[in-house]
Amino acid sequence: MSAHSTGNSPERGPRFVLSLHDVTPSTRESFNPFIRDAAKAGVERTSLLVVPRWHGGPSFTRDEKFIVWLKELESQGHDISLHGFQHVAVYTTHSPLTWFMHRIYTAGEDEFYRISEEEALHKLKNGLEAFKGVGIRVVGFTAPAWLMSREARSATIRAGFEYTTTFSTVELLKTRRCLRAPTLVFSTRKEWRRAVSKLWVPLWKQMNKDAPVLRLAMHPRDLEHRDIRKIALNMIEEIASTHTPCTYRDLLPDAPADQEPHATAEQTT
């Protein structure tokens, strides 16, 4: 096991990653204006977690508009990342326990959870091939719903990925550093209600003041309502006021100098 890092690198200061999940041709139009608004709120680069064949549908490589859009974002310093292959597990046989875990416990998002290393490697390589075929460089992988087996994690290393993420960490695979990286994610009504309070984000930041990285994970369903988008943008502004925005890729030790934040943002809380 790699050691968890809890201290902030003094020359860099704490970081903030805006992580956009389930990016596909059909969610492009939801994410596009949000990415522009996030830039106005202080986050100019995000990590986009792309699913190559959402629920077994056609490959994203068939959508020319989507590829042009991804490449444009990549050229602006956004980090294009692999997020599962189909984002759903496919089982040919079902035991009652497997059915329960798949449909109820993991809501079908266990694509990389009960999987052999070889199966995981096959999916990861297919994903990388798809990006390579359209000229997009990908160095990171995040499993759907952060559900990743030990075997799948080994496969990410064998496939050559440089980082992977869990709900609470970002793991830099080449250096075996595991950064504590708490995530705000809005999967329940209770969490959104909490988020409406202006006090919640400063309190959450205070609770995680030693974490080198804070993250906000946004899913397409979060962008469906104007009010929720507004709350998220306020959060982005609040976190970016004290934490230097960057992508997952920028956390890698060999990130290009122009991707590095030049100064630690002023502490305002």
* Interacting residue ranges for Zn ion, rule: CB under 5 A: 21-22, 144
- Write down the least CB distance from residue 84 to Zn ion, Å: 7
Report which secondary-structure segment, H or E, holds 5. strand 4-5
Toward Zn ion, which CB reaches closer, 20 or 38? 20
- Write down the least CB distance from residue 79 to Zn ion, Å: 16
- Alpha carbons 76 and 86: distance in angstroms, whole number: 27
Toward Zn ion, which CB reaches closer, 45 or 219? 219
Beta bridge partners of 172: 163, 177
Toward Zn ion, which CB reaches closer, 49 or 201? 49
- Alpha carbons 264 and 12: distance in angstroms, whole number: 6
Tokens of 221: 């369903």
Toward Zn ion, which CB reaches closer, 21 or 215? 21
Residue among 153, 137, 28, 142 nearest 84 (CA): 142
From residue 146, alpha-carbon distances to 103, 171, 191, 247 in Å are: 16, 12, 18, 17
Toward Zn ion, which CB reaches closer, 22 or 250? 22
- Write down the least CB distance from residue 199 to Zn ion, Å: 29
- Write down the least CB distance from residue 154 to Zn ion, Å: 21
- Alpha carbons 140 and 218: distance in angstroms, whole number: 17
Report which secondary-structure segment, H or E, holds 35. helix 28-40
- Write down the least CB distance from residue 167 to Zn ion, Å: 12
Toward Zn ion, which CB reaches closer, 42 or 112? 112
Tokens 């991707």 sit at which residue?
A: 259
| Residue 121 φ then ψ, to 5° | -60, -40
- Alpha carbons 125 and 146: distance in angstroms, whole number: 19
- Write down the least CB distance from residue 263 to Zn ion, Å: 33
